[in-house]
Structures are given as structure tokens and as C-alpha cells.
Structure 1
Amino acid sequence: MTTIEPDPTLSAQDAPEFAPAQFVRWFREVAPYVHDFRGKTFVVAFGGELVSDGALNALIQDLSLLSALGVKLVLVHGSRPQVNEQLKLKGYQTQFGRGTEPTSAEALECAKEAAGEIRLDIEASFSQGLPNTPMSHAQIRVISGNFVTARPVGVIDGLDYKHAGAVRKMDIDAIKNSINQGSIVLLSPLGFSPTGEAFNLAMEDLATSAAIALRAEKLIFLTQDRTVLDTDGTVDTELAREDADRILASGTLDEDTSSFLTHASRAVKRGVARAHLVPYTLDGSILLEIFTHDGVGTMVVEDTLDDLRPASVDDVGAIVQLIEPLEADGTLVPRGRSVIERDVEKFTVLEHDGVIYGCVAIIPYPNDHMAEMACLIVQPEWQGAGEGEILLRHAEGRARAIGARRLFVLTTRTSHWFIKRGFVQGGVADLPKERQAHYNRSRNSLIFIKRL
């Protein structure tokens, strides 16, 4: 999505005439997301680097907006650079890296101090209320406390982790009660045992455990530009969990990105709907990730690949049954069984318990670096649960794999569905030459194109 930055030198009176219309269009475009996410729980996690880089205030303003829109928020903060600074000031050589590391008694005291300072900074930021600022009239309660019961990591391979801990359980009822009353719950990277001991926790593990226990809609890690990149250097905006695991197994990621992606994959595998790696260095990145279709970070989803497979000749009858009702009402061009049999290798089907309930076809046009998506169908009784999205993501992946740079679709009745998912209307002249020759002008199908 193209972003047009406002000119800071222009006053409201000097703004271009198109600005109000542009604002209205953008505002209307985010409305479906507002409806979808109202009442949903987001776990937002960030390290102490965000605080030391001066990005906390902007984040709090964006989180305040999410809260005002009805999103239930649980925040999890880290404190690694602050703890390392405390250790350095006190003359200790220990420095913490990514993940779980042995924590001495001295390091635990530094962790307590750092967590207390950051918690107070966050509470102070949420308490802002100056007129003519994003926080004006925002009365947000931040609740923190002993929500997390921890256990010691113990001794692993002969190494005593001392005061380093792991999450044993969380007081989910208390957290839900707080967020259901409109408060924001803040979790610091410390947990407590039934005997009253404190343990140092890894922020990533704490956030992932919270998201899983709450069955959160989203787990969002705000990182220092730690996203997953495609081969061309652009951000890979969406990964199926199995693809994320494959990338992790390849060992090509840096330590930080690997850690975040590992926890994102674990969260999605355990029931979290979406997990995101979002760069906090981009102003408003959390809003862009949530309220725009493509986002600005990497999103991990649990693609139901077990139900998704290439079609075979044995599936022709089931595909014909899916297509026939739409051919009868004019939604699809009549193809006939012989055409389906001829092109069956271009189809992918969704199957569950032996029942084929969805399909899609990809037709390549290699000379133009384009591919056509055809026959994207989900049985009516299966619609509304994301199966169409699964087929679309799969089609985009197949098109990329065969070298297509653009994916196009012809439709007469579902234009809004494709527009919402990043397709832009084109014309017959935008089609591959071979496809232009077979365009049925009597149907006057609309053409939508998406860059891959």
C-alpha cells in the first residue's frame, strides 16, 4: 500500500484539497478491522530497547487508541539493556543476551530495579492527558501485580540457572477480569513462586505464555527491525507456521529474529490466531500492521496445510460439483468436465474427512510474469471461517513459486472481496496478450490485479 506522508510545513488551511477525501477514504477502509477486533485480546510485547530508544511515548499513544477502539490489551515489557546498564554501573561483568540465562542474586536485584523503573515509565505515559494531544480525555487504568507464578529453571547440563525462571502458571481469571473492565494489564519479566521467591523471566517466553493462556487474537512483538525478509530483500508479510519452522531450521536468521520467530511459531501452534514481528522504528507501525491489509511486519498464521493438497483426476467429480452451481447462476464461465480433467493439475483442493469443500486454480502466463487465479470456491456451509483466505494465500504462494510478479482474477460478483485483499482494478489491456485473446466481452468481467 502506498503511503503519502503529510507535509509538516503545511497548515490545515494550506493542505491540498484532496486531503479531506483521502482521510475519509482511509478512515472507511479501517472500519472493517475496527469491527473485527473490538472485544478481542491482543498481547503486545516489547524489549527494553524500545524504551531506551525513546519510542515508548509514541507506542503508548497508539495503544491508547487501540484501547479506545475496544481492543483488550495485555502488555509485556522486557528490560535487558536496563539490567545490563545497572550491572555495569555496579561493577559486575555479567551481561544478558537473548533468551534464558543464569541469573545471580545481584543480577536479580538489578532486574527488579529495571522492571520497576520501566513499569513506572509506562504508567506515567498512560497517565498523560494534555489537551490537543492523542492522550487527551484518555483515562486508562494500568493494572500490574503478581499475575505470574514462576518456577526455577534449575540445573541443565550441569549449569545452575539460579534465579532464572520459567512461567509455571498465570492467574488468567484475574487478568481477564481486569481487561474486561477496560483496564490494560502490564506484565513485567518477573515471576513469583509460592514460597515468595522472585525469578527473572524472558520477556518472549512470558508474552508467548500469556497469549496462549488467554487464547489471544494476536501476539505482537515490537522489535528493532527484526522481520523476516524475502529473497528480494522485502518484508515477508505473511508466513504459514510450517514455512516459519522451515526457515528457522535453515539457520539463516540472526539470533534476535530467530528468537522472536520461534516464539511466534509456538504461539500460533498452541492456538493464538496471529503472531506478528513488527518494527517499532517505524512510527505508527503497530497501527499500520493491524489496520492495513499487507501490514509492515511479518505475520505468522497456522495455515491448515493438512487440508490443502494438489488435485488429482479422482477429484474432478467433486470439483465439478463445486463449480456447477456458480456456472448455473452466471458467476463462473461454464467449463465442462473435460476442461476440468485437462487442467486438473492446475487445481488445489481443500479436503476434510474425505470431503472436498473448496478449490482454486492457478493458470501461469510465464512470458508476462503473471498468473491467473480461477475457480476460487468454498462451499457455502464452510464459508466465513477463513477458508477463502487460505486458498488465496496458497494461490499467491504458488504464483510466486512459478515466477509470477502479478496475480489477476476475473469476476462479475465478488469484486469487493478481492479489493479488500489488496487487488486493484485493471483493464483488458493489463492482461497477458494470450489471455486478452480469450477475454469474453459479452460477460464484461471485472479485472483485478495484485502485485506479488
Structure 2
Amino acid sequence: MHMNSIETDQSTTLQYVHWFRHSAPYINAHRGKTFVIMFDGEAVQHANFQHIIHDIALLHSLDIRLILVHGARPQIDQNLKTSGIVTPFHNHRRVTTRESLSAIMNAAGSIRLQIEALLSMGLANSPMYGARIDVISGNLVTAKPYGIRDGVDFQLSGEVRSIDTDAIQRHLESQNIVLLGPAGYSTTGEVFNLLSEEVATKTAISLKADKLIFLGKGHGLMNEHGSLQREVAPHQLDEHILQYQDANPDIALHLRGAKTASLQGVNRVHLISYEEDGALLEELFTRDGSGTMITDAHYEEVRMANIQDVGGLINLLRPLEEEGILVYRSRERLENEIDHFAVIERDGTILACAALYPIPVTDGELRSAEIACVAVHPSYRKSNRGSQILHFLEERAKGLNIQQLFILTTRTAHWFLEQGFEQASVDDLPNARQALYNYQRNSLVCKKPL
């Protein structure tokens, strides 16, 4: 019993050390960067919110410059209900009447105070112990009336006119966290009720933020198979916006903001869950993350290969085969197996390739596949194209309901371990693949559960 406890402690410690080592590159990469993090009123009410605040304090301690943007819809609804005030909606946007403004601003103000109080906690035995965090808010957002749309006067509902980026940058340079809410001020001194999603989006664009993060109810975007889409291009969001337009307009607002920000210079937009403890840290400090990232990075597209690619594949593979890194494949074999290959091509040159081979399994064995023939052109080895094509085939494998992936390698096991594979043995291979194992090559076996 005692020995099992020691082994468990050692295992937990090794897992922690492994995670910490692999998070170090992300810690270095994020230092000094500017992140805008938006969460709605439902997130503030959720039991996990105090953990989110602790994680935000941790990001601050790692020298990440933070602008927090909060919503307040359920709190506003409750205030209005208590006051007996009804505000109409049009196209999922509240018409802010003059009599409702006080209740709306009170709700937003109380959330601001709540967040400031949580960030001020320096309690012993909590992640906030010893933290000194100054939170700044104020008239940093200038607004204008939303006006009359479809014949409807939105009164004191507004939209963002401008963001005081100079003042925000000064606060960030002074090691402050900046806190914005769903309110803006006009040049004539009026207060307007704004969409917090729009405030976050316009702030991220104006500041040229490195990341815009939406904390929502879901874990991110799902594909047609119900699997999480870890990376999406902005132009792919339109179908999801239509899907959520009426069913969940809050998510549609997040997606619209994500698309706008991504197309206007925010390199990375993230959709993650406010309900999942640690989702923010997992998204920022692990390779796979916890949600969906939207990026307009102009990668060459990964695609499945066709028969016209055989010549380019041979040019890419022959030098690696001659070094003994890859097993020799004849032109005839490549032609026969071309449907298994994915490639990245630029201007007629194959820059990277990899193949996915399903493995026949018997009853009781997990549905398995092997990723083989991973190769990147020598001029592009320092790019992320290997990771990109591997990720593409992992998603394809999930679509085929594959439960685990294997790779066999003689030279590059460390790279696959960095991509989330773990070392395995020949005995872990399905029987059909064990029978074909070449003991002369003595390849290392790695596996990854999907």
C-alpha cells in the first residue's frame, strides 16, 4: 500500500515535470505579449470563475499584458426584473431606454467591483498569495449611438467609436491589468450600453493585440463528427455563425468578433470554455490546447495527394531513403498507395508529406492506424510544416473513428514525443502490424491515443 502511494507520487511528479518543461517555450513566447480576454456575465456567475481569476493572476505574474472585458447580460436582466422595467430586443440587441440605463450601469458596475475584489485577494493557501495586482478601468472607450435600424430607435444602445489605446498602453506598461465593461462614453458626456464582444474585438484590433480570447460556454467549435476543431480559418466561421445565429446568439457574437479580429490583424483568436477548470492555461501552455484557435496565417494548404504528386514525392523522399531514415518506396508502390498520402505543396514543389495507413485489427483491439513516411523538404525543416501535416492526418484519423495512432521510427522519435506521442513497444502494436515488424531496422514504436 505504502509502495503504491510512493509510485503514484513519483508518477504525478514526473507528469508535472514533463508538463513544466514542455510549457517553458510557451512561457517565453508569451512574455511581454498583449492578450485581450473577454468573458460574459454567465462566466462571472459560474463556480469556476474564481479559478479563472487565479489563472489570470498567474498570466499577469508571467509578464503578459492583460486587458479584461466583461459582459453583464444576466445581471442586467435581473436588475431590470427587480425594477419592473422591460427593454425590447431587436435582432438580438437590447434597446436601452433612458429609464433602464441606471439598472444596466449598476449591474456592470457591480461586476467590475467583484472582479477588482477577486484580483485584490492575497490570501494565504491560494494561488493569489503575495500577488500585488493593480486593476485600472475608466473612460477608455468612446461610443456613439447605434441609431435607428429597421425603423427601430435603439436609444442609449451604442457602438464603439474609438479606443484610447495610448492610455491603455500606459497602464499596461505600468504593470496594471486594464478592465473594460459593456459601457462607453460619448463626446457629449452620455453613457451608452455596448456589446462587450464588440468592445473586446475593437480593443484587440486597435491595440494590435497578440491574442483575443473568448471565454464561452462551449469548448470551441465542433465538426460534423462531433470532434473539437482545434484550428479554423476565419472564412470557415460563416457556417458556424449561421448555425448559432438564432439558437445561441451569444456564441454567434463571439464568432463574429473572432472573424473580424482575425481578418484585421489579430494573429490568434481563441474560443475556450469558462466552465472547465484550467482551460485558459491548457490553451496557452500546451501544444494541443483546450479549445478552438482562429488564425488567418497563410500556410500552404495541406491536402490529400493525387497521382500527379508522385514525381514530387519521389524527389522529396529519395534523399531520406538513401540515408536510411525512411524505408524505400518504389514509384509503383507510391502510385498504389497515393490515396494514403497528404502533402503540402508550393508552386509545384512538395514541401512536406506523410501517410496514414489504417491497421487491420481483431476483436478486442482498438481501431488503429500508422502514420508513416513523414518528410519535410530540407529548406523548410525549421518551419512548422511537419506539425501541420501531422495534425491534418490526426484530424483525418479521428474522422475515420481511429482510436490510436502509431509511428515507427529510427531517427526522429524525439520529434514525435514533442508532438504528443508516447514511447511504446512492439507488443503494443496490433497483431497484424506486429507480424510485419522489421527487427533488423529495430524501429522505436510510439503511440498516441485519439
Q: Shorter-chain TM-score category?
A: 0.7 to 0.9
Could you tell me which residue of structure 2 aligns to residue 338 of structure 1? 332
Q: 1:72 to 1:110 in 2, by over 3 A?
A: same
Judge conservation of contact 2:225–2:399 (CA < 8 Å) in 1.
no
Residue 120 in structure 1 maps to residue 120 in structure 2: no
Letter of the structure 1 residue corresponding to residue 232 of structure 2: A
Q: Shift of the alpha carbon at 1:385?
A: 4.3
Could you tell me which residue of structure 1 aligns to residue 32 of structure 2? 39
Residue 393 in structure 1 maps to residue 391 in structure 2: yes
Pick the aligned partner of 2:66 from 59, 73, 79.
73
Q: CA RMSD in A?
A: 3.1
SS of residue paired to 2:315? helix
Letter of the structure 2 residue corresponding to residue 391 of structure 1: I
Letter of the structure 2 residue corresponding to residue 341 of structure 1: E
SS of residue paired to 2:58? helix
SS of residue paired to 1:356? strand
Q: 1:150 to 1:24 in 2, by over 3 A?
A: same
Judge conservation of contact 1:219–1:275 (CA < 8 Å) in 2.
yes
Distance of 1:94 and 1:309 partners within structure 2: 50
Q: Shift of the alpha carbon at 1:302?
A: 4.2
Distance of 1:331 and 1:97 partners within structure 2: 63
Q: Deviations over 1:410-451 (max 9, x none)?
A: 222332332233222222233344433332222222222222
Could you tell me which residue of structure 1 aligns to residue 232 of structure 2? 240
Letter of the structure 2 residue corresponding to residue 409 of structure 1: I
Residue 292 in structure 1 maps to residue 290 in structure 2: no
Q: Shift of the alpha carbon at 1:162?
A: 1.7
Q: What runs of 5+ residues in structure 2 fail to find an aligned partner?
A: none
Q: Shift of the alpha carbon at 1:96?
A: 6.8
SS of residue paired to 2:94? coil
SS of residue paired to 1:282? coil
TM-score normalised according to structure 1 size: 0.85
1:61-100 aligned within 5 A? 61-94=54-87, 100=93
Judge conservation of contact 1:408–1:449 (CA < 8 Å) in 2.
yes
Q: Shift of the alpha carbon at 1:46?
A: 0.8
Pick the aligned partner of 2:160 from 155, 162, 167.
167
1:409-420 aligned within 5 A? 409-420=407-418
1:319-330 aligned within 5 A? 319-330=313-324
SS of residue paired to 1:281? coil
Residue 202 in structure 1 maps to residue 195 in structure 2: yes
Distance of 2:211 and 2:358 partners within structure 1: 35
Letter of the structure 1 residue corresponding to residue 112 of structure 2: R
Q: Shift of the alpha carbon at 1:366?
A: 5.6
Judge conservation of contact 1:84–1:96 (CA < 8 Å) in 2.
no
Distance of 2:90 and 2:10 partners within structure 1: 51
Q: 1:16 to 1:144 in 2, by over 3 A?
A: same
Q: Shift of the alpha carbon at 1:76?
A: 0.6
SS of residue paired to 1:325? helix
Q: 1:107 to 1:306 in 2, by over 3 A?
A: farther
Pick the aligned partner of 2:420 from 419, 422, 431.
422
Q: 1:440 to 1:381 in 2, by over 3 A?
A: same
Q: Deviations over 1:262-306 (max 9, x none)?
A: 433443344433333322233333223333344443444447576
Q: Shift of the alpha carbon at 1:77?
A: 0.5
Q: Shift of the alpha carbon at 1:221?
A: 1.9
Could you tell me which residue of structure 1 aligns to residue 309 of structure 2? 315
Distance of 1:69 and 1:263 partners within structure 2: 27
SS of residue paired to 1:216? coil
Moved more, 59-68 or 90-99: 90-99
Q: What runs of 5+ residues in structure 1 fail to find an aligned partner?
A: 1-11
Judge conservation of contact 1:237–1:294 (CA < 8 Å) in 2.
no
SS of residue paired to 2:172? helix
TM-score normalised according to structure 2 size: 0.85
Residue 110 in structure 1 maps to residue 119 in structure 2: no
Distance of 2:309 and 2:56 partners within structure 1: 48
Moved more, 56-65 or 362-371: 362-371
Pick the aligned partner of 2:276 from 269, 272, 282.
282
Could you tell me which residue of structure 2 aligns to residue 129 of structure 1? 122
Residue 155 in structure 1 maps to residue 148 in structure 2: yes
Letter of the structure 2 residue corresponding to residue 264 of structure 1: A
Q: Shift of the alpha carbon at 1:387?
A: 2.5
Q: Shift of the alpha carbon at 1:72?
A: 1.8
Judge conservation of contact 1:78–1:189 (CA < 8 Å) in 2.
yes
What count of residue pairs does the alignment treat as equivalent? 439
Letter of the structure 2 residue corresponding to residue 175 of structure 1: I
Pick the aligned partner of 2:267 from 260, 265, 273.
273
Distance of 2:130 and 2:338 partners within structure 1: 59
